[in-house]
A and B are shown apart, each in its own frame.
Chain A
């Protein structure tokens, strides 16, 4: 008995060592273009907004594309969809007022989607915006989409019980963060919020009290998708929203699978960006990134037409990179998801301490902890490189591995005690252990405080949260500083609870005035100004330690083509996808 066991153990050992690896120090550069920068523009020529979208060379009709994702999509209701996956999945069934023409290389043009143009600034003051609805746009039941259906969609986003969606347009129309006090949707379902008018079936007009030059961008979120009032089932609309795009939801098995099939009422001649090549899209929920990666590499059966949403797991990157057969099936691009070691500025009021924190961080080490260059790229700016106008600078140059000596010098020999709160999932456990190590080397004393991952965001969004440091992240809703800097660093946006993700609670009146100044500039002049302001905030206030931007590194099956990482949200985009 013992002998057999010994033999078995030895065999296992031999088998394992047979597969032994030898990793030599050669720096083969993968060429991650982490600085892909959006060169964005708003279409001025109405022709750009006209359909049909140019055919994808080599594309064929038919087949079913499977998208494999770890967790289900939180909301399908277009007024509630706000996660990256919600925004991209809804592109297939929910058309909006505007949308992006995107070559997947960072060149984007904002065009009219349901509207003939990306909006008309009626008085050239960014206060009154007019949209004209295209002819021939239809819901899945064949009925025409009118300006009234779009207005109804915007009106229902005032309903507080429809949680989850963005709040830009509501707040701008109501000129107040408490937009529900200006318009009560539930008691007035046929009415429209203040400033929103529908002069006729083809025209939609939004009038704001303050200039909002970013409106055409904000209108690209699915919250401007039309909803037929007669089919609105309130919170239950989420299960099966009515389609206006090339695909309609035919089967929704909550948490397991979501099936979208061709919508025959959709007319390609009206659509400047979408195609309708595959017969169906199946969103399959559950498998973790390791399983997703292995399945796509194996490329068996239905997985030949599958796309991994969550990307290659860090543990398998070296295998994927080393396999030349996979080269054509890799998708890689930086995302706008920007991570910071957020400093609670209400608690850590000493600028020197915040600057010392900036010097202390070893970005190279933390990126290795996270899984390397295919998972994260270091960043020293407040805006991710994919932002229009972005410029590289490093306000606290500390080399790639941090400068603990400089940090100690700033602290003046004192030991500063701080509490670092982190979400207790695997990634952030590893990340915060790593960060705490860096900071202790620089003369800080760090208490690590684990917070349940599912309530972490809610807790850090409370103004009076008791922690000094936490990991914050922000994914901009459009590639402009306007969707980043004022959102995160305007002190007037601070709320008791539900401030923005990763809030640093910085409130500097001088900065707040700067935000107002830049926001009133024409969009094309804002880019440079945001970049200047970005550097100013970091140099004068150091409210956070910019850490890294997430990199999307994913795979697709051998028979699926035309998938690209979109330049706005950094997630797989399916409008050009086909099976062959």
Chain B
């Protein structure tokens, strides 16, 4: 297990490096010339060239990359390490931006993920066990309706019903959990429900399919033939085997969502990592883009490591190498 972790962490760092290179190259493909954005009033060709020189945009790309890389970790004036870079657009270290936006995204994603996993896997498994019954039909009907809808559509309708028409909820306005737990809850309950409704569908379907698949497998039949009670068959054999792909999907989804839930944030008017990243691309704000992308990548990498580590626990047939 120890060597596994070391290996994966090293690989993860390598991945981060690759991501940063790709993002760096992508930035220079942006239609917006960073020099033009920085170029002062009455910008003409000579001035633009001076700005390019000053920004180091005329240096070879690897040199620029190294300089950037150093800036992220070593810091610079007005921005002690590790400030993750200084954003000229926001006029603050990216670290300060994160301190504000990361809690928003965490508050949206973590409870929502708990909700959608519990709802999805629960519904899926129950309906697999009771397949063909009315419950099965309703559960799968519910989950499929969710899967067939657009996030912003559901969000828009929920806002219209609960906030604008019935007025039972205030318009979502993020309040930190520790400042006012109730305000935090009322602001976030709609995005949680929306995400749970849409995402649980995927898990319900997957869970049901996996359960059915596993239940028809030989080792389950053997267990049944041995005379093991159905409950024990399910708990000892079916669940364990069926949950593997669910863990894969959950790890990916949660990891990705932590990197920013752009559509959810936009629909409900939150400013988390997602909106920050989109605005940064629009503004040509390299330090913010870079830091956001790297943070999002780090979430996904960690989620992956956790998923792989969980495999062994859940499914003894998988060996870690």
Contact = CB atoms under 8 A, between A and B. Distances in A.
B171 A303 contact: yes
Interface in A1-60: 1, 4-5, 8
A306 to B, nearest CB: 10
Given A255-B90, A298-B163, A236 B78 contact: yes
A286 interface: yes
A180 B47 CA distance: 11
Interface residues of A, number: 43
A255 B279 contact: yes
Contacts of B31: 452, 454-455
A253 B174 CA distance: 13
Contacts of B159: 291, 294
A136 interface: no
Interface in B70-105: 78, 87-88, 90-92, 96-97, 100-101
Interface stretch (A269-277, A493-501, A558-566): A493-501
Contacts of B194: none
A218 interface: no
Nearest to A302: B173
A447 B55 CA distance: 37
Nearest to B86: A236
Given A235-B91, A300-B171, A496 B44 contact: yes
B276 interface: yes
B167 interface: yes
A455 B33 CA distance: 9
Interface string A95-134: 0000000000000000000000000000000000000000
A161 B90 contact: no
Interface in A262-320: 285-287, 291, 294-295, 297-298, 300-303
Interface in A156-186: 160-165, 167, 177-180
Interface residues of B, number: 46
Nearest to B99: A253
Contacts of B90: 254-255
A66 to B, nearest CB: 10
Interface in A217-275: 235-236, 238-239, 253-256
A285 B270 CA distance: 10
B271 A255 contact: yes
Contacts of B87: 254
B110 interface: no
A458 interface: yes
B3 interface: no
Contacts of A452: 31-32
A175 B48 CA distance: 23
B57 to A, nearest CB: 16
Interface string B268-300: 011100011001001110000000000000000
Contacts of B32: 452, 454-455
Contacts of B216: none
A1 B96 CA distance: 51
B6 to A, nearest CB: 39
B313 to A, nearest CB: 36
Contact of A8 (B96, B97, B145, B279): B145
Contacts of A179: 42
Nearest to A178: B42
Contact of B282 (A239, A300, A454): A454
A310 to B, nearest CB: 13
A303 B269 CA distance: 14
Given A239-B92, A498-B44, A300 B78 contact: no
Q: Which of A179, A285, A294 has the most CB of B within 10 A?
A: A294
Contacts of B279: 255
A165 to B, nearest CB: 7
A507 to B, nearest CB: 18
Contacts of B47: 160
A301 B172 CA distance: 11
B258 interface: no
Interface stretch (B134-142, B233-241, B243-251): B134-142
Contact of A1 (B42, B100, B137, B270): B137
B91 A497 contact: no
Given A253-B100, A255-B90, A295 B38 contact: no
Given A167-B42, A496-B45, A497-B45, A287 B141 contact: no
A162 B271 CA distance: 27
B268 to A, nearest CB: 9
B291 to A, nearest CB: 14
Contact of B48 (A239, A300, A497): A497
Contacts of A302: 170, 173
Contact of A495 (B42, B100, B137): B42
B40 A254 contact: no
Given A163-B41, A454-B32, A287 B269 contact: yes
B254 interface: no
A256 B100 contact: yes
B182 interface: no
B84 to A, nearest CB: 14
Interface in B134-181: 137-138, 140-141, 145, 159-160, 163-164, 167, 170-171, 173
A51 to B, nearest CB: 33
B43 interface: yes
Contacts of B45: 496-497
B306 interface: no
Contact of A294 (B41, B141, B164, B270): B164
Nearest to B174: A256
B38 to A, nearest CB: 7
A160 B38 CA distance: 10
A254 B164 CA distance: 28
Contacts of A285: 271
Interface in B46-60: 47-48
24 contacts: A1-B137, A4-B138, A5-B145, A8-B145, A160-B47, A167-B42, A177-B42, A235-B88, A255-B97, A256-B101, A285-B271, A286-B269, A291-B159, A301-B170, A302-B173, A454-B31, A454-B282, A455-B33, A495-B42, A495-B44, A496-B45, A497-B44, A498-B41, A498-B42
**Nearest 10 pairs between A and B by C-beta?**
A160-B40, A254-B90, A1-B137, A239-B91, A452-B31, A287-B269, A256-B271, A298-B164, A498-B43, A301-B170
